[in-house]
Structure formats: C-alpha cells, structure tokens
Structure 1
Amino acid sequence: MAFTFRSPAGTQALVTLLSICYAVDEARADDIFFSDMPMVLTASRLSQSPLDAPAAITTIDREMIEASGFTEIHDLLRLVPGFLVADWPDGSPTVANHGLGDAYDRRIKVMIDGRTVNSPLWGNTNWHDLPLRVDDVDHIEVVRGPNGAAYGANAFQGVINIITRAPATEEGLTLISRFGDFGFTDNGFRINGASGQALDWRLSASRRAATTFKSHRDEDGDPKSEEAIRRTVVNFQASAQLGARDELRVHLGASDGADRRGYPPETADFSPIRTDRNRHHYLQLSWTRSFDAESDLNLQYYHQAYQVRSAWTSRAGFPVDIDVDTHRDEVELQFTRRLSPEWQVLAGAGARHDATRSPSYFNRSDTLEATYWQAFGSVTWQPLVPLRVNLGGTFEHHDYSGKLFSPRLAINYALGVDSALRLSTGLAYRAPSLMESESMQSVRYRGQIVRLFYHAGLPVDPEQVRYTELGYVAQFRELGLGIDTRIFRERYTNYIDDQVCRHNRAPRCAFAPPAGYDRSATYFLNSGAFTMRGFEFSVDWRKPGFGRAVLAQAFIDIEENGRILDQQIMTSAPASMTSLLLIKDLPQRWRLSLGYYHNHPFHWLNDGGEVSSRDRYDLKLAKRFGTLDAENEFALTVQSLTGGYGEFDENQFRAQPQVFASLKLSW
C-alpha cells in the first residue's frame, strides 16, 4: 500500500509512531492478552480489551467528558481522531469521519446502549433531540472506521455507542445547574435508589435552553439565519438480577422541545422565523442469561418514536409544513460462547420495522413502511498464544437495497502483555435512506405543486467501501502512557450524491415530473469512485497527582478513481486535524482543563460550505468540595477563547464564544 499526505507533518508523525511500535517489551507467553486496560464492546459485540478488538476504537471516558466542558453529546466527538463536528442553524448538528460530511450524518451508525437512534428519514442523528444528557453518559465508544461486519449497513464510516451510567454504580441525589450568556440554562437532577436492593434504578431529568446562532450579515450585507433551542428530557433506568444467571434491564425516556429558527423578516421567501416542535420517546427492554464469564445469551427489544411539527406561511401567501412522524420497533437475539481456550463464537439475528409519515417529504398522506432483517456472527481462533484471528460478517435484507453481505477478517498479534498489532480488511455498505429512495419533497397550494425540492426519481444502489487497515495499540504502564495508531486505505464506490435537473430545459431530468409541475428538482444518483488514505493516532498520558493529556491527530487524503460529479468531495476532509485535552490537578482540589481543536481548510458538502484553517481553545476551571467521594463541584467554562468562528459554512454560519458557570451538588 502507498500512502500520501498533503501535510509533511504526516510523514514525520508516521515515522515517529512506527518507531514506537517496535519499542515494545518482550511478551509474557502465559498472559499475552490479559491486562487491566478498559474493556470495550462496540468493535465486535464482544467485551474485550482494545488489544484484541478487530477494529480501531476510541473510548471517551467520564473524566474526559467532565474535563472537556462540553454540554452537548455531539461536541464530545471532537476528541476522536478524524472526527469532524459542526452545528448550523437550519438543522441538527452534524458529525463526519474523515470527510464526506454534509447536513445529514448518515454514514455513521449511532447507538445508545446498543439501541440504534439514526432517523429512518435521512439516516442521520438528531443530536439535540436525543433523550439523554451529557450527565447521563458513562462513556462513549467510537469505532473509527467501517464496521458493517458487526452492525450491518450504515455502520459505514464508523459506529458511536453512547453508554449510559448504570444505576448500580451510584446512589443518592445529584443536582446540576448551568447558566451563561446567550440565554444558556441547563438544570437537572439525577436520583438513584439505595444500593444493595433487589432493584437498582435511576431517574434523571433536565431542561436546557440556549441561543445557538444569532443572525449576522455576510460580506455582501445579507442577513443569515438564527436558531434558539429548548429541550426537556426525562430518563428512567432499572436493572434487576433474576437469580444467579439472569438480569433484566429496562430503559425508558422522552424528550420534548422547540427550535426557534429562520431568517429575519426582510429576507425569507420560504423560511421566515418559525418554531419547530419536536418530541421523542423510547422504551428498551433487555434480558441476559450468563452461562460463564465468556458465554451468554441476550435478547433485546426497543420501540422509539420521533415527531416534528413545523409550519409557516410563505411570502407568496401559501402554507408550508414539514411535519414528520417516525416509529421504529426492533428485536435482536445474540448468543456468545467460549467453546475452548482456542475458539470463541458469536451468533445472532435481528429484525426491524420502520414507519414514516410526512406529506411534505413524500407528497402522499399515507405511512411508508420498511422492514429489515439481519443475521450476524463471528469466530475467533487463537492458534498461538500471541495470535488471534477473527472472521465475521453480517448478512441482511433491506427494503431499499436488497440483500447485502459485509465480511471482515482481522488478525491481532500481541507484541507484549500490553501491546498488539492489528491487520484487518473487509467490506461495508450504506443502504439508501428513505429520502434517497422515496422522496418527493414538495410545497402545495390550492392542490397544485408550486415548489419541488428533493425528488427520488431514479433508483440508487447502496454505497460500498472496501477497506484495509494496520493498527497498533499499546499501554506503557511505567510511563502512564497509552498509544493507539492506525493507517488505513478505503476505496468508495457508488457514492450517493444529489444533482439539480429541470423538466422544461437543460439539464433535463431523466424521470417524469409530478402532474402539473415542469420546473426544477433535486434528485439522487450514484456518482463515481474515490480512495481515502490516512494515518491517525491518539496518545493518552496520565500521572497521578499531576493530571492527564489526551492528544488525537489525523492526516487524510482523498483521491478520485472515477468520474465524480461533485469535486468538493476531494476537499471534504482536512489534510490535518488535531485535538488536545490537557487536565491539570491543582492544590486544594482545583482542576484546570484546556481543550484545543484545530483543522486545516476543508469543505462541508451539500448544504455546507468552506471552512478555513481554525484553532479553537476551551478552558474550564473547576473546584471540588465536600467529601472525597462526592461529586460536588463549582466550575467556570469558556468555549472558544479566541472569539467567534465559521461553522459548517463560514460565509453563512458563525458560532459564538460561550461562557457559563456550573454547580453540581450530591448527597
């Protein structure tokens, strides 16, 4: 494999990190794969050390979450190598991995405790509407590459698994209050049942509000859109041990809120300032029977629903609405068994039903339904003490893409007790979303279509990526140092893009217009092939009594392999991007943390635009008080110390610095 980078720093970093790879201690043959490194679940569906995982995985732990000062879950992904995050006032925040990002982050699978939360409509994640808060999260596991072998279609560029705090891990009452400029407030509580009871439970609730974007004028003097959000979130979790081998868990929650967004009165034709109402609720049930430490049976069911109500009157006097109702039900069974010291197997199957209704998006009043089923499995073979071979895959059928098979082969070789090399290769898909398959987004007036936006007039095939990666993971205990590196090559084909065509003049549409309409439409098509190469690493250094430093770095290059209609794909990833979180313990239980986030210039696709080279600095100063085991804390946080900056499209949207204080009290 040949790798090229647009930044010479990439070559230097590669040489440095590869030399570290070979500076490892001699292996201890009787304990080669065992250490006290944090266990991870998301890479393969098996609980395992990162040394054994068949894919690169980053864990954002509770200490990092608190030290970052972030109050929104999507912002935490800025700490992951290669991940891009942006907010914008006309829709949900968006997240991308190594480029290809646009307004709808539909190429990354997002889960909460194993429950998929991507929307059936676009396949994206409505980050502001997730029915949980940062304070509910224990840690986040992020697979930094395709993982279709474990989770099927749409685990295309990565998987994010948000894992909440287990009720059994805490008790008592915690109150949290944050307040700052731009009308920012965030107040909540968390109450837990007493320990040692038959039923462990936790109830949490919060209410937050903020002006996320203020209208400003661009270089031509044109006003831009604004946004203010308000959310109320309630969550309940309970777990019960039903005998020595069985555990039952129940999660349920809801989110209710409103977004005030749009353009100032003098500018808007179709989107004046309006209020979008949204509601989200879910129920998740799971049962686990444990046979031994490495063998269990798990059955999970969940139901979730999402509703949006948005309507206004255009300048031309006709009504516009974008009401959406979605429902999802999914059931999944998974079995894991250790057959012998050399062999371990995992097998499972699941089925999902999605239902979506939106007269505006589909130009029809009935409900669109889709079914999905999959069978997945993996076999892990350890023929030698230092060698593990994992072969796995997912076979599935989706209404929008037919039958797909996503395989993966991964080989892990232990260089020592706390270090290992990983070589993996495989194939993953992204199935077309409901919008890309069925949409006819229209505005009607007096029974006639007066405006047509997205129209899925042509069939599209699933996107495909073939990938190969070489990784190295190590923990140097005597130095308090952890290292995770990855070199990768990903070849994409059948990329789904959108283009504008016209029914009455060139470029003419290749499909028939709806009755009574002969103007333009935006349609979807498969638009070519390209190759992404990159190198990324993270360094996690800790010293008790001093603090911690977590560095994440990525270098990315995209090359065209065929005719691509949107040449901005080539610049959709920064050549270099960096995040650094410094945590310094100070006397008298004070703690100072500094976050630094940098990217080279790049381009968000579709609704996004150019973002220039940027350096962002965040600062948090916190004081712990009370007993040593209490979470009592007062803190002051400043986000973007150097001022406002362009976000998603620097000519359109400008994020503002944020200053807020927080107080946390626990009993």
Structure 2
Amino acid sequence: MLLLGCALAWSARTSAAVTESDFLDEMPVVLSVSRLSQPVTEAPAAVTVIDRDMIRASGFRDIPDLLRLVPGFTVAYTRDNTWAAGYHGLGDAFSRRFQVLVDGRSIYSPHYGAVYWSDLPLSIDDIERIEVVRGPNAASYGANSFAAVINIITKTPAQVPGEFASLQLGEQGMRGLTVRHGGGDASMRYRLTASAQQRDRFERDITEKTFSSGDNGQYFEASKTYFVNGRMDWQLSPKSDAMAQFGLSQGNWNAGRRVDEPRAALEPLEQDSRALYLQFAYHKVVSPRREWRVQAYYARNRFDANALVPIVYGGTDYGVVEVNQYLLQTRSNIELQVNEQWMPNLRGVWGGEVRHDTVNSPENYHSGRTLRGSLARVFGNLEWRPAARVLVQGGAMLEQHFYTDTDISPRAAVIFTLTPGHVIRLGVSRAFRSPTFYEEEGNKTLLQASGGVADVVTVPPSGGLDPERILSREIAYVGQWRPLRLELDLRLYSDHIDHFIGQVKSTVTDVGSFQPKVFTFTNIDGTIDAEGGELQLRWRPTRALDVSMHYARVFLSTNTSDDHFIKDIPKSAPRNNWGLLARYQLGNGWETSVFAQRNGTQKWLTEGDVTREFNRVDARLARRWKWQGHDVEAAVVGQNLGSDYREFRDTNIFSRRVYGSLNVAW
C-alpha cells in the first residue's frame, strides 16, 4: 500500500494543473441493462463497467478473475478447468445463476448451467469492456439472468488495425502467447487472433488438509489451451452493416487427484476439450427513429475424459469400472431486436428469440440418446420521461421453456434526478431460472467394463422441477461529484428467492455401489432472503491516478427445513467483501498498479468447502515506449504477494507467483 500512498501524495501536488473538463465529462454509457444505450445514471438497474484500462491494470490473464473488481461477487477456480462465481452467495461449482454473453452470444451451458471459461476462444487482449448488471435482468435476457448478467464486448476490427503480439512467462507453469492481425478498408475490416495458454493453478502436493473433503496427495490442475478466432465487419451502405465471427478452441488438460483412495481414480487425469462457434449479425437503420438488428449463432462444446479403473473397496471387488465423461452440447439461436423512438420523451426496444439446445452424455444420463429442448421469447422495454427530472422504465420478457412452460419476467424502475449528475433509483424486478438438462434428467451412472452397473451417483427428480424465482427490490444513488472528480454508486437491495433448486440425498439407497450416496435435484422447501448494500466508486483526481474501489455487505437467511441447506446457505456469501484497484502513471512511459482484495469466510455450495477469509494483494509495474516505430509494453506482475490462501476447496492452495509480459503492436 506504500505505492498507493506515494501516488496519492503526488496527485495532491499535481491536481492544480488539471481542469475539471479533463475528467468525467460524461458518465459511462452502457448497453446491457435494457438493451437501450443509456448513461449509468439512467439505467434501470445497477451496473459495473470494467473498461480496458482496468483490465490492463489488474494484471489478470483469466477472464473470470475480472469479476473480482465487481461489488458482491466472489470468484474461485474449482477443478477440472472450471470456475465458480457467486453474487450475494448461492455460488457453486457451475455459476449456474448468471447469464454470460459475448457480443450478444450466450455461453451459458445447457447441460450443467456452467460457464466454460477455460475453453472460451477469446483472448483477454481482445476485450473492449465488460458490463456487469448486478441483480436480476430477465426482463432483457430471459431465464438464467437470475443473479446477474455479464456482457463481454470485444474490440471491433477498426479498433485494432495492424499486428499485435503478447507474451507471458511466469511461475506455476504460466505460459501465454497471443498474436493478432487486423486489416481491411473503410467498407470491410477484419481481425484474426490466435493464442496458446498454459496454466498450473495451485500447489500440487497437499500434505495438510483443513476439511474432510480432501485427502493428502497430489492434485493436478494444469491446462494447455489453444484457440483461434476472427471477426469481419462490413459497411454495406451508409445505413446498414453486417458482422461475422468464428472461434475454435482445443484444450489438453490435466486434472484430478492421485491419492491413496480408490475413488480418486474415477477422476481421469487427462482431459480433452474442444469448442467452436459461428455468429452472424445484420444491422439496419430504417430512419432516425427506428433501427433493427438480427443475429444468429451456433455453438458446440465437446468434453472427453475416460479411464478403466479396477475398484476394490471395503473388501469388495467391484471389477473394472469404465469412466467415460464424454459430453457434447450444442446451441442454435436466432434473435431480432428493434429499437424505436416514438416521441421525444418515449422510446423503447422490442424483439424475440428462438433457441434450440442439445446435450449428449451417456454417463451423465445413463443413455446414448441426445436430449433436446427449444425455447421461444418475446421482450419489450420502454423508457418514458414524463418530466424533466423523472424517468420511468418498464419491461418484461415472456418465455416459453421446454421444461417449465410459460413464465413472465417483469421489471419497473423510476429514476429521480436530484441535481444534474445525481439520481435516486427505485426498482423492482422478478426473474426465473429454468432447470438445466442435468438438474431435470441427470442420471449419472458408472458401468463395469462387463456392462453391469457399478455405481449410481444421481437420479432424476420425481415429478420434474419448478423454476427458481426471485423478487428483487432496490433503492440506489448514482452520482458524479465533479469537484472531487468522483463517480459514486450506492445500492441497497432486498432479494426474496423461492423454489431454490438444490442437490440432496435421494431416498434411493440400495444401488449395490461402493459409494452408497445417491443424489437428486429438488426444489428446496422454504425461501431464501438476501439483504444488504453495495458501494462502488471511481476516482480520477489527476490524469495520472485512477482508483476503483468497491465494498459489499450481505445478510443471507433461509427458513428451509433441510438441515444441510439451512446451515450452508447463510454462509454461502461472505458477510463483508471489498476490493481496490489503483493505477498511477509515473511518467516517461512508466505505470504501476495495485489490486487489493479482502474476502470474508464463505461456504461454496454442494461441491465446495468453507473458504476461510483471506487477503490478496497483486502489484504490477509496466513501461511503454516506441521501438523502431512499434508500440512496446513490458510488465512484471506479482499475484497474491501475501500469505497463501485456499480457494473453493481446501486442496486448492493459491500461492505467491510472479509473471512477466511483453506486448508489441505495429
């Protein structure tokens, strides 16, 4: 923190030379809340913008880590190259309560509901900004926009002409190489990116576990991922344009554990992952008052890991067990969005979407058949200004889902302008989360090589599942303090959740298995309430200093009769959580930044352990210069410069590590 203190002292000496017009001319404009372009002071819900300066200053090279910059979020790497994220608690290994978009393309998994960050064919260097809508946003993006919406907006080809190369090398087996080429002319521009990334996430040898879920031994979480993606933008006429994207990735991963425990061998150490997507969009400006956009995309993810394991457990020989974690899932989607301005004080957006998902996984569904499901949606959002200082917003999504039939997700918000740049927002919204294929039909079964059943892990729920429901209410203040060059966002919220879907022990007990625990998913009885507050600020007192800070406090309670969840749910969010990112330009091309985080104790649900409170401090020192006409940046980043901490599981030990990077653009 000494570095930050020096930066603050220097800024006090130099701020007199800086005029107010140099900073905060306008509040950030966001696109993701209501599908309307609007400043954050006029958005109907809370939103955090992570811009490219924050991304670079953080030193993070994995996209999920950027959520550490958002109030109320907790982030952790789990295992098998999967990340967990929670917002106001309720986080598990699959982050199933978020809608994550990349340029409008949903990457929410139809199987688990997980977000497969590790095989997402996207370089962090190609991200322009990330908009995180904090709270339910099903009125704009439908079911599964339950806790938050994370919209990743990539750089257009026009923003990245020429060549770019980025190299990282560091401890814990960190290796990374990204190259990009951008070209074209005024009518057609393109960019093409290729990348190879390698990680070794945690300490491998575990000799002291803290909770009962782990065993001493060797744990493997190493990955090699290769991908290529491209984008082309066409200006077809002064009033129409088109866009096409594609991406391919392949991961050669090592995961699992090697301990003195027969069941550990059921986790294959070698894993193979492949993903691809194709996306097309056409945009047309019909008149100054009307424009429309249609987009279609196809995505495919395949995961494969298998092994033949002889199991002798408790004195019983269960024979050779065939572990086959093959999973293939696809998504096809087409969407229309129309933006209209009917009157000077009334505008809106409306449209519809049709989606088709498929999943095939013989082990997870005890069947070779492909599960299929289609959904259809129509949506609309209005923005009406009845008076100069009053803005009324409302919208809803009507959705027909293949499991849960028809749901309506409404939202309403009223924004009062106290003085220019200072507003109070009152909002209420309802959202649903539909069950995933695995929650509804999962029947994970391990077979013997001879064909007999060796173990049953999950069975489908009887009677089907209802969608989770949340009613969210908030009061918020968003302001811009120009004399202090400060942007401030304060939010108080109250969320009420029912029909929560959780994993419980099934009444099926006698399956002739070496693991006599059988699970199923069910709607937990009772309700869950989350209440608390969030604060985020952005302070830029001089051209040299940029500080972002956030704080969140949450109280979780439940009245369920389930002994497991009544203990775990209130602990699933840290009571207090804060983070800070400070960047300072030292001059002569030098720049330094500090990231600090404090995360309170929390319990990750289902597959996770209790994560004890921890402090984390990262630091980055970089310099930019010109070399033979090229833009060059070299940096060294130290992550977790304090004590080791445990992440998600007590066997995931995140230790101190350092890496260097070199970027060249020409």
Question: How high is the TM-score relative to the length of structure 1?
Answer: 0.91
Indicate the SS of the match to 1:135.
helix
Residue 223 of structure 1: aligned partner: 217
Residue 588 of structure 1: aligned partner: 588
* Residue identity matched to 1:259: W
1:257 corresponds, among 251, 259, 273, to 251
Alpha-carbon displacement from aligned partner over 1:347-371 (angstroms, at most 9, x marks no partner): 1010000011110110110111000
Task: Please state how far the C-alpha of 1:146 moved relative to its aligned partner.
Answer: 0.6
* Residue identity matched to 1:523: T
Indicate the SS of the match to 2:403.
coil
Task: Please state how far the C-alpha of 1:518 moved relative to its aligned partner.
Answer: 11
1:357 corresponds, among 329, 354, 360, to 360
Task: Please state how far the C-alpha of 1:417 moved relative to its aligned partner.
Answer: 2.4
Task: Please state how far the C-alpha of 1:198 moved relative to its aligned partner.
Answer: 1.4
Task: Please state how far the C-alpha of 1:271 moved relative to its aligned partner.
Answer: 3.0
Alignment CA distance shift 1:383-1:661 (3 Å)? same
Residue 616 of structure 2: aligned partner: 616
Residue 128 of structure 2: aligned partner: 138
In structure 2, distance between residues paired with 1:273 and 1:364: 21
What stretches of structure 1 of length at least 5 have no aligned partner?
1-33, 506-512
1:191 corresponds, among 178, 181, 184, to 181
Task: Please state how far the C-alpha of 1:619 moved relative to its aligned partner.
Answer: 0.5
In structure 2, distance between residues paired with 1:272 and 1:265: 11
Alignment CA distance shift 1:520-1:630 (3 Å)? same
Contact persistence 1:529–1:563 (CA under 8 A):
no
Indicate the SS of the match to 2:118.
helix
In structure 2, distance between residues paired with 1:480 and 1:520: 58
Residue 572 of structure 2: aligned partner: 572
Alignment CA distance shift 1:160-1:504 (3 Å)? closer
Residue 287 of structure 1: aligned partner: 282
Contact persistence 1:538–1:550 (CA under 8 A):
yes
Contact persistence 2:509–2:518 (CA under 8 A):
no
* Residue identity matched to 2:250: D
Alignment CA distance shift 1:476-1:432 (3 Å)? same
Contact persistence 2:218–2:257 (CA under 8 A):
yes
Give the structure with the larger strand fraction. 2
Contact persistence 1:224–1:652 (CA under 8 A):
no
In structure 2, distance between residues paired with 1:268 and 1:645: 28
Residue 454 of structure 1: aligned partner: 458
Q: Superposition pairs for residues 46-65 of structure 1, below 5 Å?
A: 46-65=36-55
Of stretches 262-271 and 592-601 in structure 1, the one that deviates more from structure 2 is 262-271
In structure 1, distance between residues paired with 2:376 and 2:268: 41
Indicate the SS of the match to 2:607.
coil
Indicate the SS of the match to 1:263.
strand
Indicate the SS of the match to 1:124.
coil
Residue 490 of structure 1: aligned partner: 495
Task: Please state how far the C-alpha of 1:628 moved relative to its aligned partner.
Answer: 13
Indicate the SS of the match to 1:574.
coil
Residue 653 of structure 1: aligned partner: 652
Task: Please state how far the C-alpha of 1:447 moved relative to its aligned partner.
Answer: 2.1
Indicate the SS of the match to 2:206.
coil
Alignment CA distance shift 1:163-1:642 (3 Å)? same
Task: Please state how far the C-alpha of 1:96 moved relative to its aligned partner.
Answer: 1.1
1:425 corresponds, among 409, 424, 428, to 428
Task: Please state how far the C-alpha of 1:340 moved relative to its aligned partner.
Answer: 0.5
CA-atom RMSD in angstroms: 2.0
In structure 1, distance between residues paired with 2:517 and 2:195: 44
Residue 28 of structure 1: aligned partner: none
Alpha-carbon displacement from aligned partner over 1:602-628 (angstroms, at most 9, x marks no partner): 111111111111100001000111189
Question: How high is the TM-score relative to the length of structure 2?
Answer: 0.91
1:537 corresponds, among 535, 538, 554, to 535
Residue 12 of structure 1: aligned partner: none
Alpha-carbon displacement from aligned partner over 1:507-558 (angstroms, at most 9, x marks no partner): xxxxxx8x99995410111112111001001010013343111001100001
Indicate the SS of the match to 2:40.
coil
Alignment CA distance shift 1:552-1:292 (3 Å)? farther
* Residue identity matched to 1:223: G
In structure 1, distance between residues paired with 2:119 and 2:416: 42
Contact persistence 1:90–1:225 (CA under 8 A):
no
Residue 179 of structure 1: aligned partner: 169
Residue 29 of structure 1: aligned partner: none
Indicate the SS of the match to 2:570.
helix
Q: Superposition pairs for residues 224-373 of structure 1, below 5 Å?
A: 225-264=219-258, 266-269=260-263, 270-272=265-267, 274-292=269-287, 295-316=290-311, 317-373=320-376
In structure 2, distance between residues paired with 1:471 and 1:97: 18
Contact persistence 2:582–2:595 (CA under 8 A):
yes
Contact persistence 1:224–1:653 (CA under 8 A):
no
Contact persistence 2:411–2:429 (CA under 8 A):
yes
In structure 1, distance between residues paired with 2:493 and 2:551: 14
Alpha-carbon displacement from aligned partner over 1:97-129 (angstroms, at most 9, x marks no partner): 110001110001001001000111011101111
Of stretches 561-570 and 205-214 in structure 1, the one that deviates more from structure 2 is 561-570
Q: Superposition pairs for residues 401-480 of structure 1, below 5 Å?
A: 401-445=404-448, 446-458=450-462, 459-480=464-485
Indicate the SS of the match to 1:51.
helix
User: Within the alignment, does 1:525 sit opposite 2:492 as a pair?
Assistant: no
Alignment CA distance shift 1:462-1:59 (3 Å)? same
* Residue identity matched to 2:346: W
Q: Superposition pairs for residues 503-514 of structure 1, below 5 Å?
A: 503-504=508-509
User: Within the alignment, does 1:663 sit opposite 2:662 as a pair?
Assistant: yes
* Residue identity matched to 2:191: R
Contact persistence 2:138–2:397 (CA under 8 A):
yes
In structure 2, distance between residues paired with 1:488 and 1:571: 18
Of stretches 587-596 and 561-570 in structure 1, the one that deviates more from structure 2 is 561-570
Residue 15 of structure 2: aligned partner: none
Contact persistence 1:503–1:518 (CA under 8 A):
no
Indicate the SS of the match to 2:310.
coil
User: Within the alignment, does 1:129 sit opposite 2:119 as a pair?
Assistant: yes
Alpha-carbon displacement from aligned partner over 1:442-476 (angstroms, at most 9, x marks no partner): 10112222111122232211100011011111122
Q: Superposition pairs for residues 596-611 of structure 1, below 5 Å?
A: 596-611=596-611
In structure 1, distance between residues paired with 2:262 and 2:480: 56
Alpha-carbon displacement from aligned partner over 1:216-254 (angstroms, at most 9, x marks no partner): 123487225221011011110011111111010111111
State how many pairs are aligned: 624
Task: Please state how far the C-alpha of 1:39 moved relative to its aligned partner.
Answer: 1.2
* Residue identity matched to 1:486: R
* Residue identity matched to 1:525: T
Alpha-carbon displacement from aligned partner over 1:538-581 (angstroms, at most 9, x marks no partner): 01001334311100110000122443441210110111100100
What stretches of structure 2 of length at least 5 have no aligned partner?
1-23, 312-319
Task: Please state how far the C-alpha of 1:197 moved relative to its aligned partner.
Answer: 2.7
Q: State the 4+ residue runs in structure 1 displaced beyond 6 angstroms.
A: 515-518, 627-630
Residue 401 of structure 2: aligned partner: 398
Indicate the SS of the match to 1:43.
coil
Contact persistence 2:36–2:348 (CA under 8 A):
no
Alignment CA distance shift 1:123-1:272 (3 Å)? closer
Contact persistence 2:644–2:654 (CA under 8 A):
yes
* Residue identity matched to 2:342: L
Alignment CA distance shift 1:272-1:252 (3 Å)? closer
In structure 1, distance between residues paired with 2:274 and 2:131: 26
Contact persistence 1:504–1:518 (CA under 8 A):
no
* Residue identity matched to 1:657: R
Alignment CA distance shift 1:123-1:631 (3 Å)? farther
Alpha-carbon displacement from aligned partner over 1:364-411 (angstroms, at most 9, x marks no partner): 101110001101001221110111111100000111211110001111
Of stretches 262-271 and 601-610 in structure 1, the one that deviates more from structure 2 is 262-271
* Residue identity matched to 1:624: R
Indicate the SS of the match to 2:391.
strand
Contact persistence 1:556–1:575 (CA under 8 A):
yes
Contact persistence 1:636–1:659 (CA under 8 A):
yes
